[in-house]
Each structure stands twice: as C-alpha cells, then as structure tokens.
Amino acid sequence: MIATPDITDIRADNVGDFTFPERNLYDSGFGLNEKTVDYICDVKSDPEWIRDFRKKALATFNSKPMPTHWATKDLENIHFDQFRYYLSGGTKPKKSWDDVPEDVKRTFDRLGIPEQERKFLAGVEAQYDSEAAYSNIKKVVEEQGVIFANSTEALHKYPEIFRPWFGKVIPTGDNKFSALNSAVFSGGSFIYVPKGVKVKHPLQAYFRINSEQFGQFERTLIIADEGAELMYMEGCTAPKFDTATLHSAVVELVAMKGAKIQYVTVQNWSSNVFNLVTKRGVAHEEAEIRWIDCNIGSRLTMKYPGVVMKGRKARGEVISIALANTGQHQDTGAKMIHAADETTSNVISKSISIGEGRSTYRGLVHIPKHLKGCKNNTECDALLINSRSRTDTYPAISVRGNQHATQHEASVSQVSADQIFYLMQRGLSEGEAMSLSVNGFINDLAKEFPMEYSVELKRLIDLEMEGSVG
Amino acid sequence: MSLQVNNLHAGIPDREILKGLTLEVKPGEVHAIMGPNGSGKSTLSKVLCGHEDYAVTSGEVLLDGQDLLAMDIAQRSRAGLFLAFQYPHEIPGVSNANFIRAALKARQPEGEDIDAVAFYKQLYARMDQLEMDRSFTGRSVNEGFSGGEKKRNEILQMMMLEPKYSILDETDSGLDIDALKVVARGVNAMRSDSHGILVITHYQRLLDYIQPDIVHVLMDGRIVMTGGRDLALELEAKGYDWVKEDDRALAA
C-alpha cells in the first residue's frame, strides 16, 4: 500500500478509559459458590423464591460445560474463581443527580450521561458496577403508568407483573451463561408499558464497570402490554484493565398483542471484557420486536438476539453492526424462531474486520412444517480491511413445509483499491478514504440508530479506522 | 506556473509504457492528447495522479514548480490536480453531497468546516449548469448512474473543487451526443486563466465541443507530434498510421 502513516494507539481517545478507586460498601469477595448467592440475597433482602431461584441456577451453571465445542477456545481463559460477583456502594439508586456520590457522578458526567437525559430522553437508569446509581423517569412517562425500575426494585414492588414473565423468555438452563446470570443477577431494567401507551421518547440505561476482576450481570425484563410501544437504548463502557472482566447479561422482552419494542444497544466495552449475553423476545399476535445492535468493543462478544414469533403475523427483526479489531472477536448473529402462521423475520448483519480482528455471524432461522405463510429474509455482509482480518459465517436455516419464503444473501468483500484511489484523488487521505468507505458500508444500518447514537457510531468507527491503514 | 512533465519514463513492473513523455500545460490553456489504443493515454493520467500500480523510473513532473512525484495521491489533489476518471467508481452508502463536502473539507485547514448554506448554494448552481437533477445529491456516488450521469458527476466534482490543472481521461467514452454537449458545456464553463486542462481522447468528436489550443499525438509512450486544432482534424481524416509516416513526427 501507499506509505504507511504511524499506527496510532487506537484507544488513545477512548473516553471511557479511566477509573476511580473502589469504594465498595458491599463486596462478595472472589469466587462463586452458594455463600456468594446468600451474600447477594442478604444485601438485597431478596424474597425466598428468588434465593431459591438463584441457588438452582447456580447448580445448573456448575453442571453445564463451556460450549467450546462450537464456540471459541478463548472461553477457556475465563477463570470464574478470579472474579468478584457483587460490588456496590449501596443499594438504593438516587433520584436526584446531586445525591449521587461524587466519583460516580464524575464518571457519568464524563461519559455525557446527564446531558443526554436533559436533552432528549424520557428516563435514564445508570448502573455502576452491580447497582443502579441513578435513576430518573420523567414525570410524563410516569403519569402514563409506565414503570421503569431496576430489577431488584421490580421484584420487590411489582411482583405481580414481574414474576409471571421473569425467566420465561429465557429459562435458566438455556445456556451456561443464562444460568450464571440467573444465579447472580443484579441491576438491569424492569419496564412495564400499559395497554395502548406509546412512549414517545426513548428510555435509556447506561452500564458502567468501574472495578477490576469483576463480573457484571444485569437482568432486564421489558413488558409491553397490548398495543404499547417503546424504544429502549443501552450503552456500555468500562475502563481497560489488564485483568479480565466478565459481562453476562440477560435481556427478556415481551410484546403482547399489537405491541412494538425496539431495543437499541451500542456496546463499546474495553478490550479485556468477555461479553456473553443472552437476549430474546417473545412477540405475540401482530406484535413486533426489533433488536438494533452494535458491537464495537470487548475482547469477546457472544450475542445472538432472538425473537420467538408466537402469535399470528408477529414480526421479528435483528439489525446488527459489528466491528472487530486486532485482539477482538465479535461472535454475533440472530435467532428467529417462527411459532405461528404468517410471521416474518428479517436479519441484516454487517461486520467489519480490521487488523487481525475476527467477526463471526451465526444465524438460526427455524420454521416448522405445520406453519403457513412465514417469511424470512437474511442478509449478512462482511468487510475485510486488512489481509489478516477474518470473518466466518454459520447460517443454520431450517425450513420445513411448502408455504414459506426464505431468502439468504451473504457477501464478503474488501474495500477495493480502486475505490480508495478515487477517494484519494479527491484529496482525502488514505485513512479518511477508508473511514468514508466503511461508513458507507454500514450507512443503511447506521440510519436505524437514533441520531445521537449514529453520530457516536461514526466517531467510534473513524477512531478504529485510524490505525488500520497500511 | 504550469504543469510540466519532463522526459517521463514510467510503467508497470515488467513493461515500460511511457517512454520519455514531455509536455507542458499552462493555466488558461486547453491541451488535447490523442492516440491509438495502447499508446499510454490512461497510463499517463494514472501516473500523474500517483496510482500505486505504476512506477516512475525516470523523469520529473512539476506542478507550479513543486515536485509532484514526491507527493502522495491526496497531496497531489490538494496541490490542485484533478482527474476526471474514465471509469468513475461507485461508493455505496456515501451520498454525492457528503462525498464532495468531504473532499472540500480535506482542503481546509485542520478543524475548519465548510459553510453548509454556501456549499449547497454552489452545488445546486453547478448541478443546474450540468442539467443534473437535484436528487443526485442524496444518491450514493455513482451507484446506479448511467454512463452520462457518471461523467457529468466527474465534471460536477471538478467544478466544486476548482483545481488548477485537470486531466479529463476519455470523458467522451460511452456518451451520446446530448450528454456530450452538456459535459462539454460544463468543461468550457471552467476554462479560465487560472485553470489548465488536459483532455485525453481517442476520437476527434469531443474536440468539436471542447476546442483545444494545442493538440498532441501520443504514440508508443511518447508525444510524437504537436500542433494546433487542425491537427485533430487531420488525424481524423488520415488515421493514426499516417502519423508514423509523416515527417513532422519526432524521430523514433
């Protein structure tokens, strides 16, 4: 290639790379066993049924092997006894920004969080290590009857709504990490939107890991009652430590008849985080669930947002952008399970591999024989920037019956040298030309993200591209 | 002040294509280069712009006294060199407006931006001149454009970037007569005392509309004949073989 500019430190401008000294009031210590679970239950004053639930989950977790027969062997580098599973400065989230402890406040200030809240959003929940440090839900939304709380608050205050759905969309035993989360979950959002209520502005959460050798296990449950609509956005960051950090969340969505849930994530964990997440939604008759997912950070992400289309004419969609740089593996995809007639699913995945980064697409589409009139469309495109960049695609499409329509398109490409020459001939540097080309590649999908996220997305991609040329 | 090419030897690893090409284009002049296939026409434009597939083995190129060959592709562009491509590339997902704006911004001092209102005003005025529908601003660069639309898009970019020296690489290829007229009008609108234009073409027809001051004949990697406008007409009448036999041709 043309004369290589110096490779700059890609993360030199990482806004999230800072840390405050730990000030934990509660610390479950290293390692995971029944005592850890008891500690968590005691701190949270969990009811008996949860204590039971957690303990059973712990047993399930211990009994399941690591899925290295199909997933990356890097999972073997997770040493469960070297994490702390619960850390917090106190359990009650503050309602007023002034009451939030100084270092937590400065963390979120630096990440731009309260600003966001003022400007645009209906409600914000900010989690710092294991607990929510700040939570606020605008009056308007509250008056509409919307509930927005963290998972602990929810199971105490709203058990009649929480309990029927908790653990139903993603059963404990779904996989090793949903079991882990079920044992030690803390924080995460609980949202209930009443019938017919359409929440105009997005509800939002931020997840921040401050401590070293720590596992964050938030549990989110969102229920949109009949005809309800909402958009939920989450962003995640962590400083870079030399030791590993584990993030294993579970997100369950329930869209009742005619409801619509859009769940937007921009994940920018630092490069030492193992990000193993289980996300799934159940869409009832004529309901719609859309996952809009962007994975830029972490050392290893394994995440396959899914939709079970349980009612007639239900719709599921996954829009995914992944960027894997050297030292990163983004192993993402989608699971579309058709369980009713005339259901439609759509998966659009675009990945970019830079340096020695690896991106993997795993897409499951399941349409059984007895259903009629189901449709699936899948499109997965991979862009390889450097000669050592890597991408894999594992589609698993199972369609039975003769009244369905399935379509699968895949492509792997490089940014052509001719395209770069054209852009450079107009005065753009090689880095600028690459950035523009890569942004062009994901442009269609970036437009699906709310405006300030797509601006942030472009900024993050430009940063990643800086070190990639040559 | 000029674009000066002195005894340029360049080619691909196994083969020399330009074998001592000398040429000088001054601001305000329009030069035409004509030549048969394989003479080195498209190599010339790529070498001047710095395409990495080609290497210069000897010779020099000066742009207003600056050593052009020492600059990378982007630097040459910012120094005022523009190439209207024969086969303009598509750039999926990047709108025409954003592309042109990025090119203009690349020329600004660090941190400074373009005034959006002024930009669009100028963009629309130029698009009107080229009879380009305004919807083209939002479309991905060259994606789904017809041949004529792509060539007009090249001229639009030239008009927006206001280069010092432009190379039009077979701008007429693939154009029907109407598109040709519109493109020529655009080029002619850019003729000025501060702009030197090099028109590379295979056929004489384009030169009816973009009338050159000087015509060169390129054969086997060298300029073998130079003349006025009439040379182009003579070429069309007699063909390239005639050049080899004519004593005005430079000794081989």
The predicted complex's ipTM stands at 0.95
Q: Are A16 and A73 in contact (CB under 8 A)?
A: no
What letter does residue B69 receive in the DSSP assignment?
Answer: G
> Is A8 a member of any domain?
no
Tally of domains in chain A: 2
- How far away is chain B from the Cα of A63, in angstroms, using its nearest Cα? 48
Is residue A96 pLDDT above 70, yes or no? no
pLDDT-flagged residues of chain B (< 50): 252
Cross-chain Cβ contact A441/B92 below 8 Å: yes
- How far away is chain B from the Cα of A308, in angstroms, using its nearest Cα? 32
Band (A55; pLDDT cuts 50, 70, 90):
very high
A411-441 pLDDT, tens digit each: 999 998 999 999 999 999 998 999 999 999 9
The arithmetic mean of pLDDT across residues A166-185, rounded, is 95
How far apart CA A468 and CA A445 sit, in angstroms, is 22
Contacts of A2 in chain B (CB under 8 A): 52, 72-73
Q: What is the pLDDT of residue B136?
A: 95
Calculate what percentage of chain A has a pLDDT beyond 70: 81
Band (A87; pLDDT cuts 50, 70, 90):
confident
**A429 and B CB contact within 8 Å:** yes
Q: What is the pLDDT of residue B131?
A: 92
Domains and CATH numbers, chain B: 3-245 (3.40.50.300)
> Is A455 a member of any domain?
yes
What letter does residue B65 receive in the DSSP assignment?
Answer: T
Q: What is the pLDDT of residue B44?
A: 96
Is residue A404 pLDDT above 60, yes or no? yes
Cross-chain Cβ contact A432/B161 below 8 Å: no
Band (A153; pLDDT cuts 50, 70, 90):
confident
The arithmetic mean of pLDDT across residues A227-242, rounded, is 78
Is residue A261 pLDDT above 50, yes or no? yes
Q: What is the pLDDT of residue B173?
A: 86
Is residue A217 pLDDT above 50, yes or no? yes
H or E segment and range at residue B217: strand B214-219
What is the CA B162 to chain-centroid distance, rounded?
A: 13
Contacts of B106 in chain A (CB under 8 A): 426-429, 432
In this structure, are A104 and A143 located in the same domain? yes
Higher per-residue confidence, A63 vs A204: A63
Cross-chain Cβ contact A424/B51 below 8 Å: no
Q: Are B212 and B187 in contact (CB under 8 A)?
A: no
How far is residue B22 from each of residues B5, B17, B222, measured CA to CA in Å? 5, 14, 8
**A458 and B CB contact within 8 Å:** no
Band (A92; pLDDT cuts 50, 70, 90):
low
In this structure, are A451 and A413 located in the same domain? no
Q: Give the residue among B225, B221, B226, B228 at the shortest CA–CA distance from B244.
A: B225
Band (A6; pLDDT cuts 50, 70, 90):
very low
Contacts of B92 in chain A (CB under 8 A): 440-441, 443
Cross-chain Cβ contact A427/B83 below 8 Å: no
How far apart CA A81 and CA A356 sit, in angstroms, is 30
Contacts of A350 in chain B (CB under 8 A): none
In this structure, are A136 and A151 located in the same domain? yes
Q: What is the pLDDT of residue A121?
A: 46
Q: What is the pLDDT of residue A318?
A: 97
Is residue A197 pLDDT above 90, yes or no? yes
Which residue, A381, A401, A420, sits at the end of a domain?
A: A420
> Scanning every residue of chain A, which has its alpha carbon at the shortest distance from the alpha carbon of B100?
A426
> Is A317 a member of any domain?
yes
How far apart CA A137 and CA A121 sit, in angstroms, is 9
- How far away is chain B from the Cα of A417, in angstroms, using its nearest Cα? 9
Calculate what percentage of chain A has a pLDDT beyond 90: 57
**A414 and B CB contact within 8 Å:** no
Band (A278; pLDDT cuts 50, 70, 90):
very high
In this structure, are A465 and A370 located in the same domain? no
- How far away is chain B from the Cα of A81, in angstroms, using its nearest Cα? 47
First to last CA, chain A: 6
Cross-chain Cβ contact B72/A439 below 8 Å: no
Residues of chain B in Cβ contact (below 8 Å) with chain A? 49, 51-52, 72-74, 76-78, 82-83, 85, 88-94, 99, 102-103, 106-107, 140, 157, 161
CB nearest to B72's CB, from A3, A416, A441: A3
- State the Rg of chain B over Cα: 18
A354-390 pLDDT, tens digit each: 999 999 999 999 999 999 999 999 999 999 999 999 9
> Is A271 a member of any domain?
yes
How far apart CA B98 and CA A436 sit, in angstroms, is 9
In this structure, are A94 and A154 located in the same domain? yes
Q: What is the pLDDT of residue B21?
A: 96
> Is A7 a member of any domain?
no
How far apart CA A269 and CA A218 sit, in angstroms, is 15
**Domain range enclosing A180:** 15-420
> Scanning every residue of chain B, which has its alpha carbon at the shortest distance from the alpha carbon of A419?
B89
CB nearest to A426's CB, from B51, B72, B157: B157
Q: What is the pLDDT of residue A120?
A: 43
Predicted TM-score of the model (pTM): 0.84
Which residue, A381, A397, A420, sits at the end of a domain?
A: A420
Q: What is the pLDDT of residue A436?
A: 93
CB nearest to A2's CB, from B52, B93, B157: B52
A116-139 pLDDT, tens digit each: 554 444 455 566 666 665 556 666
In this structure, are A404 and A461 located in the same domain? no
> Scanning every residue of chain A, which has its alpha carbon at the shortest distance from the alpha carbon of B86?
A422
Higher per-residue confidence, A19 vs B103: B103
State whether residue B111 is helix, strand or coil: coil
Contacts of B49 in chain A (CB under 8 A): 421, 425
> Scanning every residue of chain A, which has its alpha carbon at the shortest distance from the alpha carbon of B140?
A440
- State the Rg of chain A over Cα: 22
Average pLDDT of chain A is: 85
Band (A4; pLDDT cuts 50, 70, 90):
very low
> Is A68 a member of any domain?
yes
Q: What is the pLDDT of residue A453?
A: 77
Q: What is the pLDDT of residue A146?
A: 93
In this structure, are A445 and A366 located in the same domain? no
Is residue A240 pLDDT above 90, yes or no? no
- How far away is chain B from the Cα of A350, in angstroms, using its nearest Cα? 13
What letter does residue B175 receive in the DSSP assignment?
Answer: -
Contacts for B193 with CB less than 8 Å, ≥ 6 apart: B27, B28
In this structure, are A335 and A379 located in the same domain? yes
Q: Are A363 and A349 in contact (CB under 8 A)?
A: yes
> Is A2 a member of any domain?
no
Give a three-class secondary structure readout of A160-203.
HHHHHHCCCCCCHHHCHHHHHHHHHCCCCEEEEECCCCECCCCE
- How far away is chain B from the Cα of A454, in angstroms, using its nearest Cα? 14
Residue A2's identity, in one-letter code, is I
Contacts of A416 in chain B (CB under 8 A): 89
In this structure, are A466 and A343 located in the same domain? no
Q: What is the pLDDT of residue A54?
A: 95
Q: What is the pLDDT of residue A112?
A: 60
> Is A10 a member of any domain?
no
Contacts of B52 in chain A (CB under 8 A): 1-2, 417, 421
Cross-chain Cβ contact A427/B74 below 8 Å: yes
A292-351 pLDDT, tens digit each: 999 999 999 999 999 999 999 999 999 999 999 999 999 999 999 999 999 999 999 999
In this structure, are A313 and A435 located in the same domain? no
Is residue A397 pLDDT above 60, yes or no? yes
**Other CB atoms within 10 Å distance of the CB of residue B28:** 14
Cross-chain Cβ contact B93/A416 below 8 Å: no
In this structure, are A396 and A432 located in the same domain? no
CB nearest to B77's CB, from A425, A439, A441: A425
- How far away is chain B from the Cα of A429, in angstroms, using its nearest Cα? 6
Q: What is the pLDDT of residue A13?
A: 41
**Other CB atoms within 10 Å distance of the CB of residue A168:** 12
In this structure, are A142 and A23 located in the same domain? yes
What letter does residue B225 receive in the DSSP assignment?
Answer: E
Q: Are A322 and A351 in contact (CB under 8 A)?
A: yes
Is residue A113 pLDDT above 70, yes or no? no
Is residue A89 pLDDT above 80, yes or no? no
